[in-house]
Structure 1
């Protein structure tokens, strides 16, 4: 399976906890997912844009070091920046210097899964172009994966942002969303209620996708869209047809949580690589790997991707249940 990841590349300036000192590291949710997929041994293309500046050099070097090609990086006036101030508990708050135009149209030939989301799918003028690419992929039978990764400070009015997110969800077969994202999109609504609503929406019409929600057993029949909700230290839960898959996170000593959701996304997508007909057991296995990968990255600073060995070492401490 070949992954195409589309979205922003950002230089993250990570703060030292309790201070105003910052260290520049590569970031951007889609870039993190692309690099982590490559680190987990999956073939991946990455379409983005960076500036011809010092921070652009940082991002290009990072991609090259992890074997992700730069041939689909468009030129931007300047590389986007995100300042992450880290609290005493390891959580991060963000401030952005961001622009996203996305002038290119990546080739879909040979792609089995298109993953996108975050700022790239919601902010203009690049956002509408990304959503058009999602529609083209879904219509062509390419599995579309989406992660809203909400950044409220850059999204403006909530109703308009919610409409754009819902447009993306309807185009996607695989959706990973954080409980925090859902709380911002639907204030006061339980995360599982929103996830079940998303999972029940009809899939975009098109040829059979590479990963089909289907009849692995009677309970999986017609499952359709998979919606995974990540809950930080409480792990993740997935809605898949009439099944609910729950996976607590392993306890680890947290350095920071930067990139944890992206590592979860890459690991659960990598684990679904090659699955022709998705079952609840496949989802459980994918959630275990996602929670293990997220836990690994939480033990160190920044979004440093885990190796397959690091993920495997934590798996005995991660259990998922299907109901």
Structure 2
């Protein structure tokens, strides 16, 4: 079983204005005039990853703290509908975190967060995960917002030390990071406990904080991860391994509605396909040849393209990738 730990929240996504695309200004309105309706959609990087894994057919559990409000109930219902185990979810009466999405002309998404006093920030370190857990995936807001961030970090370290394969997607949201240098230092402290590091090229550049991002990636690989996977938007996905090898696959061409959940779908697809290659361990990951990596990356690129072809974080089911 793969355990995904981190926040579950509600994305408020601009709806389609009359005669326009999602989030567009209604015809005849001045720019910035009428506001589009905001449609609530289940979201959060870890939540989307768990949902995508469930849809792909991987045995998956979600580990988080979710509100008892109506949004929280909807979040859990969505996971259960896709076969995700919610036994590790903590509950609390505080409200659900809200993320207000803005969609640009190219379909990319920006976010504003409402996080004060919300349930997922109060996550507490759970008892040891079940012995059947093969991988633990973490990332996004959950590793930024205290006091829960420290609990998720402790979970990462504890499970890595007992031999669980770990995957990390920082998924940087700069508006939530008060001290960039402190966060970068904390990120480097996680790497010895990470088996697979996945991040976008934009996040890599921000975390590296240098013009020589390749040198930073080599440094990160030397401290722990067996592989670093980079997403390049529509240009595809690449991987760099500890031994210096690597490869890349092109992106799948689709008509983009928005990119919400695309990176999270890549997370899930990577873990799902690596499991099919029996590579959910650092030694096994290090032995993957180029053909296997191309299969894994190509599968992830196809899955992400499907997510981008529809509004909100709606990852594909296994049948859509057959």
TM interval, short-chain normalised: 0.7 to 0.9
**TM-score of the two chains, using structure 1 as the length reference:** 0.86
Task: Say which of 83, 90, 93 aligns to 2:107.
Answer: 90
Partner Cα separation in structure 2 for residue 307 and residue 75 of structure 1: 28
Worse overlay, 141-150 or 48-57: 48-57
- Report if aligned partners of 1:250, 1:292 keep a CA contact under 8 Å in 2: yes
SS of residue paired to 2:299: helix
Partner Cα separation in structure 1 for residue 8 and residue 85 of structure 2: 13
Give, in angstroms, the shift of residue 118 of structure 1. 1.0
Partner Cα separation in structure 2 for residue 118 and residue 180 of structure 1: 14
Q: Which residue of 2 aligns with 1:7?
A: 6
1:66 aligns with 2:82: yes
The gaps in structure 2 that reach 5 residues or longer are 16-22, 25-34
Partner Cα separation in structure 1 for residue 162 and residue 193 of structure 2: 12
- Report if aligned partners of 1:86, 1:92 keep a CA contact under 8 Å in 2: yes
- Report if aligned partners of 1:229, 1:238 keep a CA contact under 8 Å in 2: yes
Task: Say which of 95, 98, 107 aligns to 1:81.
Answer: 98
SS of residue paired to 1:228: strand
Partner Cα separation in structure 1 for residue 303 and residue 149 of structure 2: 28
- Report if aligned partners of 2:61, 2:84 keep a CA contact under 8 Å in 1: yes
Partner Cα separation in structure 2 for residue 189 and residue 3 of structure 1: 35
1:133 aligns with 2:155: yes
1:41 aligns with 2:57: yes
Give, in angstroms, the shift of residue 164 of structure 1. 1.7
Give, in angstroms, the shift of residue 106 of structure 1. 4.6
Partner Cα separation in structure 1 for residue 289 and residue 251 of structure 2: 18
Partner Cα separation in structure 2 for residue 233 and residue 27 of structure 1: 22
Partner Cα separation in structure 2 for residue 158 and residue 280 of structure 1: 36
Q: How many residues are matched?
A: 290
SS of residue paired to 1:273: helix
Q: Which residue of 1 aligns with 2:258?
A: 256
Q: Which residue of 2 aligns with 1:105?
A: 126
The gaps in structure 1 that reach 5 residues or longer are 204-223, 313-323
Partner Cα separation in structure 1 for residue 128 and residue 83 of structure 2: 19
Q: CA separation of 1:311/1:195 partners in 2, compared to 1, >3 Å: closer, same or farther?
A: farther
SS of residue paired to 1:96: strand
Q: CA separation of 1:230/1:124 partners in 2, compared to 1, >3 Å: closer, same or farther?
A: same
**TM-score of the two chains, using structure 2 as the length reference:** 0.86
Question: What whole-Å deviation, never above 9, does each CA across 1:225-271 have from its counterpart, x for those lacking one?
Answer: 11001111111111112202111101110000000000011001100
Partner Cα separation in structure 1 for residue 40 and residue 99 of structure 2: 9
Partner Cα separation in structure 2 for residue 269 and residue 189 of structure 1: 30
- Report if aligned partners of 1:113, 1:142 keep a CA contact under 8 Å in 2: yes
Partner Cα separation in structure 2 for residue 248 and residue 159 of structure 1: 33
The 5 A counterparts of 1:244-283 are: 244-273=246-275, 275-276=278-279, 277-278=284-285, 279-281=288-290, 282-283=292-293
